Chain A
């Protein structure tokens, strides 16, 4: 008999790992692209935060409404998340791990809000 898998919580945040340094104007274009990609799936981006890492950037996108784990991972992949991470996340989702969406931060990492829903297409800082 096949055993039941535990249901995973719906996710409110997309976490994206970009191991690459780029210019600020590329990041604004990325924000616009992320908003447009989420809209393709009828999801609104409420806020985007980012932090710098040793190898590039981490992006946190707060979304509404919350979405299922598989779709979260798909959106993260569409938004250019690290492919190894997407694959490991997929395996964790299939094994029913609640906190599958791992993205490690240094203790002193500063998160900067770069976009909010009201001005989704005009970034908050330059």
Chain B
């Protein structure tokens, strides 16, 4: 039997918010799976992309073409055992000038191997008490009138 590993996959897309700030939406998928690294990465991306597009559709009513979704992988780590649960954390990032601000959205737990069904009601993780994000945290960053600059997303590869 092949070794189980923890996979960290990030799907992201970017654009502009209604207030013309650069904006991006990130989903961070964590799964403990076994199998060949290349195959698992491909399978997990195939699993995650429709879910990611559905999440954007649900939240913003936007249809994102697959070509505008960026997929990133971190180093795999050893896992004790594989699990069919995939934990997903969402962050909405806004850029004002060169500063980034993240907004936490409710997390989800998916079942790996089940095809994503947009009509299904997925578990929202009980990991945090404040499922609804409290925007007070960012009130200190009121619009500063900074010029909006292009979001350069060449960070992590």
Question: Can you identify 12 A-B contacts, CB atoms within 8 angstroms?
Answer: A3-B129, A84-B155, A87-B100, A88-B102, A94-B101, A95-B104, A97-B91, A97-B104, A99-B89, A103-B75, A103-B156, A107-B73
B37 within 8 A of A: yes
Interchain CB contact under 8 A, A6 and B128: yes
Binary flags per residue of A62-104, CB closer than 8 Å to B gives 1, else 0: 0000000000000000000010110110111011111100111
Closest 7 CB pairs of A and B: A3-B130, A95-B102, A104-B72, A91-B102, A91-B100, A85-B155, A104-B156
A37 within 8 A of B: no
Distance in Å from the Cβ of A86 to the closest Cβ of chain B?
9
Binary flags per residue of B89-130, CB closer than 8 Å to A gives 1, else 0: 101010000111111100000000000000000000001111
B66 within 8 A of A: no
On whether A98 and B156 interact (CB within 8 A), knowing A4-B129, A105-B73, the answer reads no
B137's nearest neighbour on chain A, judged by CB, is A94
Interface residues of A (CB under 8 A from B): 2-6, 17, 19, 53-55, 60, 82, 84-85, 87-88, 90-92, 94-99, 102-107, 109, 111
How far is B103's CA from A94's CA once the two chains are assembled, in angstroms?
A: 9
Other-chain residue from A3, A94, A98, A109 in contact with B134 (beta carbon distance below 8 A): A3
Distance in Å from the Cβ of A120 to the closest Cβ of chain B?
22
Main secondary structure of the interface of A (DSSP, over half): loop
How far is B89's CA from A5's CA once the two chains are assembled, in angstroms?
A: 15
* Category for how many chain B residues contact A: 20 to 34
Other-chain residue from A2, A54, A99 in contact with B136 (beta carbon distance below 8 A): A2
On whether A102 and B91 interact (CB within 8 A), knowing A3-B130, A82-B155, the answer reads no
